[in-house]
Structure 1
């Protein structure tokens, strides 16, 4: 076939000079006032590497040369594998992948917002396992029928049982990473979760400029095991960060770089993803809108900084603040997904989520899957070649002709067009009426039921499933 070229469409919110200014400001903040860390082991690691520590304030002042050295030792790509050990995703450059938002404390079930239980997470995982443009799983719900101290590991267990896709997860306890690593070893490569990682752990600094005891412990534990982490800084512009977008991005940069330093000093070369979940603070309502255009702008801008540093990137986008699946949830999610894809963010977390990152909807997830597919088509760009320009074909058809029966059309229409599922209405009005005049939410409900009744995720080998079940027995819901 004739060689074609396609220019990948991109957006840019920051000029290179602005990126350099933001990084310089963040580096100065890391040195003064520094970062507060509520974990003695982490402080000791920093002290052993020459970092000035104020033990009374538990504050570490990170010198610029150390930060730059740690950024340099961070891998420039992260490979993620499926449950069978085959490489599935590459987080690098402008590659874009999607996973559901994680750790929702509610689920929208038949119009009712309620607390989720284990069976809800199982259904959610099975649904995500089926969806083509949801490339990875997440531990999407904080289940309430399991003892609190076991929730982090039991969620991962349910994902590993019900899907082959890589998973974005996280620990809620100091020993969580150790226990969750054992689960990953059972289904993967025993003793070496670093060689073919299938999980990424979120680790979240506390804004402004703090690391908690639990989260900083999770960070160094993952680093030592070689498990990839997403450093998810969460500044709230106007509340826990400056009200200006630039100021919030400076703080995000400082917090994220501090996590990279901690990880690299714990284990040089530990894989880190430059992530985040910032938001603006709505002064009128006292809320943190994830679908706000300014939130999306902060996400896309900090991702540019991550790219400038040569690191894999992540953001929480594709979420909505609506409490139900409606027009607001559609346009807010589409804005985030499309703009995030145009930015080239490697892992976009958020499909399925509502209500300020606190609620999951199965129906929204299948709708968002369509938006993700459209966004991926957009970033493929427009192919330019002699054949795609079709000058000779246009000349041949001439005025008044048509192209329906041409070989060129048959050859190219599927390659050029994203063909959505029946969820997206492209029917004539009369046919739409014949089929019941259904809106997208009604069709999404039907699609969720169909997938859950028909799709069976690939089963684990019996011996592995038995070992996995045995480990999880002590964590199971109390009857």
Structure 2
């Protein structure tokens, strides 16, 4: 049989990838990165890096970057709640999940958005759990009817209660990690069992340009030491919080995510980490960040290609829309994003169901998007030779009947 070719999208030449990485290393060493967390600063000091304790700026050598990239695992295996179904995150394995942290739900009865409440979150989780080709659950909707202090842990509680799928989540407070960790341990049975068979991914977002806050850095450290995969979500906006060019934004993206990888590896060498993001082009006229813009998708595909060249698992916010209703725009932006993400071989694709610049979830859109994801999966399977000969024997059987 003739081997099947998997279609792929690659936007960067090897020379450009090398140039982007080289400039990122220069910035890390000469300009440095702001790291607010004292525990992380101590880790950098212990590793021999130059740290300015007054400005919280860390200057990172290329050697430490290379060592950290080498020790980070190329693949991560997540398990569902039953521990029977495993999902490989790495290589060209593709998994969709429905975005994260939307504050509104689209109400089909009124045709308008409104603040989500707990019942909406439960319905969202149940629908996601029923969609076969949305592989991961996410804490993708915020409840407005619970206290802020438990907003992060409550949404994880609901996800664990109403779904068996692995969960993409994250904490909003330094104190929020422990109750979320305890819930995951309760489901798995122990901390060691959770580390052996991870059930969740914790997002951690740097603040562009070149800043890691106390909260997100502590999340990286806590997750690494617990064996929970961290997902780095750099969010540069071209011309606003990152260079105006796509290539320039990719350089900054690498600087911020390289620093995140290093923190995880200093906290626990070999800990799982995913090179992800939610960058965007910036609309200077309207002051918006269109996630459905082709330039945004090009940035996503570009940094994913760089991460793959370094042997890291990848993530992106794609397969979503900026439309405020579930209309033609929603279908077009979601469709092209899901297909480009799958062709790019991005491992964790967050987006189905989301609209209005990542602020709203729509259950009807989520179901439609599931069909789009199914088509994207079929596309990357490619065209295979299923029989030998391919078709001549079929025509021979027809004889003179044609």
Cα contact 1:242–1:248 (8 A) shared by 2:
yes
The alignment status of 1:103 with 2:101, answered yes or no, reads yes
Tell me, in whole angstroms, the C-alpha distance in 1 between the residues paired with 2:389 and 2:304. 33
SS in 2 for 1:185: helix
Q: CA deviation at 1:50?
A: 0.6
Cα contact 1:14–1:301 (8 A) shared by 2:
yes
- Give the RMSD, CA atoms, in angstroms: 1.2
Per-residue CA deviations over 1:172-225 (Å, capped at 9, x if unaligned) read: 000212110100011113122211001000000000000111111111110111
1:124 maps to what in 2? 124
User: Are residues 114 and 63 of structure 1, via their aligned partners in 2, closer, same or farther at CA, if it must alter by over 3 Å?
Assistant: same
Show the 5 A alignment for 1:50-449. Answer: 50-110=48-108, 111-192=111-192, 193-384=194-385, 386-387=387-388, 389-397=390-398, 401=402
User: Are residues 400 and 65 of structure 1, via their aligned partners in 2, closer, same or farther at CA, if it must alter by over 3 Å?
Assistant: farther
Cα contact 2:4–2:385 (8 A) shared by 1:
yes
2:38 maps to what in 1? 40
Tell me, in whole angstroms, the C-alpha distance in 2 between the residues paired with 1:395 and 1:297. 48
Q: CA deviation at 1:389?
A: 2.4
SS in 2 for 1:265: helix
Q: CA deviation at 1:394?
A: 3.0
Per-residue CA deviations over 1:223-278 (Å, capped at 9, x if unaligned) read: 11110011111110110001100000110011111000011001101100111110
Q: Normalising to structure 1: TM-score of the pair? A: 0.82
Per-residue CA deviations over 1:130-167 (Å, capped at 9, x if unaligned) read: 00110010001121111101100010000000000000
Q: CA deviation at 1:319?
A: 0.9
Cα contact 2:265–2:271 (8 A) shared by 1:
yes
Cα contact 1:230–1:272 (8 A) shared by 2:
yes
SS in 2 for 1:243: coil
Tell me, in whole angstroms, the C-alpha distance in 2 between the residues paired with 1:212 and 1:134. 31
Tell me, in whole angstroms, the C-alpha distance in 2 between the residues paired with 1:323 and 1:188. 39
User: Are residues 267 and 387 of structure 1, via their aligned partners in 2, closer, same or farther at CA, if it must alter by over 3 Å?
Assistant: same
Tell me, in whole angstroms, the C-alpha distance in 1 between the residues paired with 2:156 and 2:287. 33
SS in 2 for 1:29: helix
User: Are residues 383 and 241 of structure 1, via their aligned partners in 2, closer, same or farther at CA, if it must alter by over 3 Å?
Assistant: same
Q: CA deviation at 1:387?
A: 3.2
SS in 2 for 1:231: strand
Q: CA deviation at 1:87?
A: 3.6
Cα contact 2:11–2:302 (8 A) shared by 1:
yes
Q: CA deviation at 1:86?
A: 2.1
User: Are residues 73 and 331 of structure 1, via their aligned partners in 2, closer, same or farther at CA, if it must alter by over 3 Å?
Assistant: same
Per-residue CA deviations over 1:388-432 (Å, capped at 9, x if unaligned) read: 72122234437874xxxxxxxxxxxxxxxxxxxxxxxxxxxxxxx
Tell me, in whole angstroms, the C-alpha distance in 1 between the residues paired with 2:219 and 2:297. 28
SS in 2 for 1:307: helix
Tell me, in whole angstroms, the C-alpha distance in 1 between the residues paired with 2:251 and 2:189. 39
Tell me, in whole angstroms, the C-alpha distance in 2 between the residues paired with 1:366 and 1:16. 38
SS in 2 for 1:80: strand
Q: Normalising to structure 2: TM-score of the pair? A: 0.97
SS in 2 for 1:98: strand
Cα contact 1:260–1:272 (8 A) shared by 2:
yes
1:450 maps to what in 2? none
Tell me, in whole angstroms, the C-alpha distance in 1 between the residues paired with 2:124 and 2:276. 24
Q: Give the length in aligned residue pairs.
A: 399
2:6 maps to what in 1? 8
Cα contact 1:176–1:218 (8 A) shared by 2:
no
Q: CA deviation at 1:385?
A: 5.3
Tell me, in whole angstroms, the C-alpha distance in 2 between the residues paired with 1:398 and 1:22. 61
Cα contact 2:191–2:226 (8 A) shared by 1:
no
